[in-house]
């Protein structure tokens, strides 16, 4: 018996002011470079380290690069916070409560074209989550990532041009906002 293909996920298309103006498939959004919503969750610990995921080699955006701890698209009918909680659970196994997420920034990010021609124009909301459990409680989502790595914030802040090539553009561009917010959270 031949199983029919599941319909491709549709996402909201937004304008440059983050207002929904339509819906389109994920593929069309990334092929045509349409604005859409994404979340990025930055997991940090008391030692001032950030948890980064190494993306799988077959990802259409930033394959094999170190990226945000967790992140993804905001689904139709989801808030940024709901999407962040969902992505955090899916990509790391962490089941956080809404009050454990701290909204740290909102920005517009463009990356592309990727080697495969994909474009990413995203309205991104960044969240921080303080990790207090043992390292063995965190897991990466097979198929989307190949590993999770703790990086000292000071080391990320001192990367030279060659070292920066192992990180997604989101890490490099978002790091100043993330670093400032996490340092403030650690001091409180």
CA distance 134 to 30: 37
How big is the chain, counted in residues? 188
Q: Looking at the domain assignment, is residue 1 inside a domain?
A: no
Q: Give DSSP secondary structure letters for 6-42.
A: PPPPEEEEE-TTS-EEEEEEHHHHHHHT-EEEEEEEE
Q: Rounded mean pLDDT of 83-112?
A: 92
Beta bridge partners of 147: 54
Task: Flag the least confident range among 39-48, 50-59, 132-141, 152-161.
Answer: 132-141
1 has pLDDT over 70 = no
Q: What is the per-residue pLDDT for 146?
A: 83
In a domain, 5, yes or no: no
The verdict on residue 94 lying in a domain is yes
Residue 161 lies in a domain: yes
Among 3-12, 165-174, 176-185, the minimum mean pLDDT is found in 3-12
| Residue 149 near residue 140, CB atoms below 8 Å | no
Cis peptide before 149 (omega within 30 of 0): no
pLDDT at 63: 85
| Domain containing residue 24: CATH number | 3.90.79.10
Residue 150 lies inside a defined structural domain of this protein: yes
* % pLDDT > 70, the chain: 93
Residue 7 pLDDT exceeds 80: no
pLDDT > 70? residue 4: no
Instruction: Determine, yes or no, domain membership for 136.
Output: yes
| pLDDT at residue 96, rounded to an integer | 94
Rounded mean pLDDT, 173-182: 94
**Phi/psi at 155 (5° precision):** -65, -40
Structural domain span for residue 136: 10-187
Total structural domains in the chain?
1
Average pLDDT of the chain?
A: 89
**In-domain check, residue 14:** yes
4 belongs to a structural domain: no
Residue position matching structure tokens 């100043």:
176
List, for residues 128-148, the tens digit of each pLDDT value.
Answer: 999 987 656 677 777 788 888
For the chain, give the percent of residues with pLDDT over 90.
69
pLDDT band at 3 (very low <50, low <70, confident <90, very high): very low
Which residues touch 102 (CB under 8 Å, ≥6 apart)? Answer: 127, 128, 129, 181, 185
């Amino acid at each position: 018996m031949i199983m029919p293909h599941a319909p491709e996920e549709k996402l909201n298309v937004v304008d440059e002011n983050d207002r929904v103006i339509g819906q389109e498939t994920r593929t069309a959004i990334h092929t045509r470079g349409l604005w859409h919503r994404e979340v990025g969750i930055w997991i940090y610990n008391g030692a001032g380290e950030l948890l980064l995921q190494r993306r799988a080699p077959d990802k259409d955006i930033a394959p094999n690069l170190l990226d945000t701890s967790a992140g993804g698209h905001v689904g139709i009918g989801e808030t940024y916070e709901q999407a962040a909680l969902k992505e955090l659970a899916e990509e790391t196994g962490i089941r956080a409560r809404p009050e454990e997420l701290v909204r740290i920034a909102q920005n517009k990010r463009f990356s592309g074209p990727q080697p495969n021609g994909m474009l990413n124009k995203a309205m991104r909301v960044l969240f921080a989550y303080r990790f207090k459990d043992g390292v063995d409680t965190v897991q990466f989502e097979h198929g989307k990532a190949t590993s999770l790595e703790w990086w000292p914030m000071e080391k990320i802040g001192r990367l030279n041009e060659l070292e920066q090539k192992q990180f997604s553009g989101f890490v490099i561009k978002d790091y100043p906002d993330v670093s400032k917010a996490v340092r403030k959270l650690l001091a409180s």
